[in-house]
């Protein structure tokens, strides 16, 4: 049987497993920075496409309290009547939820915006 030229597009289960189990090239914090840079680059590109004069980002000062309230509400709904189980659930939920540095994203957007301004100016 001749090998199909599209065989790389449709990897076998074994190939997929190898790709998934392979460690990535970034550490945890470097991966976050990489993602922030990609997001910043795309945000700047969108702003340029629409010829935006500025980019406005919301301030998330009360975000911790908001997230904590939401986690508590979810815990109470999942485990009604047991404060101890709710606390364990909330703790596990916080561990599982990806923490993300909004400040680092803002810095990436500002840096990318300045680079773009310098290159285009």
**Predicted TM-score (pTM) of this structure:** 0.54
Q: Which two tokens stand for residue 32?
A: 């976050």
CA 37 to mean position of chain CA atoms:
11
Residue with tokens 């010829």: 51
pLDDT at position 13 is: 46
Instruction: Please report the pLDDT score of residue 14 as a whole number.
Output: 47
Taking the C-alpha atoms of 46, 48, 49 and 51 in order, what is their torsion angle to the nearest 10 degrees?
Answer: 120
Return the pLDDT at 10: 47
User: Torsion angle of alpha carbons 90, 95, 100, 101, nearest 10°?
Assistant: 90
Mean pLDDT by 10-residue block, N- to C-terminus, for the chain (121 residues)? 49 47 60 91 93 85 82 90 89 73 88 78 48
Tokens of 91: 């703790």
**pLDDT of res. 40:** 94
């Amino acid at each position: 049987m001749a090998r199909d030229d599209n065989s790389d597009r449709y990897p076998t289960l074994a190939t997929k497993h190898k790709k998934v189990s392979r460690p990535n090239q970034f550490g945890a914090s470097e991966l976050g920075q990489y993602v922030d840079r990609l997001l910043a680059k795309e945000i700047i590109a969108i702003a340029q496409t629409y010829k935006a004069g500025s980019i406005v980002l919301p301030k998330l000062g009360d975000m911790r309290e908001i997230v904590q309230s939401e986690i508590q509400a979810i815990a109470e709904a999942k485990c009604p009547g047991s404060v101890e189980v709710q606390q364990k659930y909330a703790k596990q939920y916080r561990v599982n939820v990806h923490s993300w540095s909004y400040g680092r994203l803002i810095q990436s957007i500002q840096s990318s915006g300045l680079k773009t301004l310098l290159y285009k100016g």
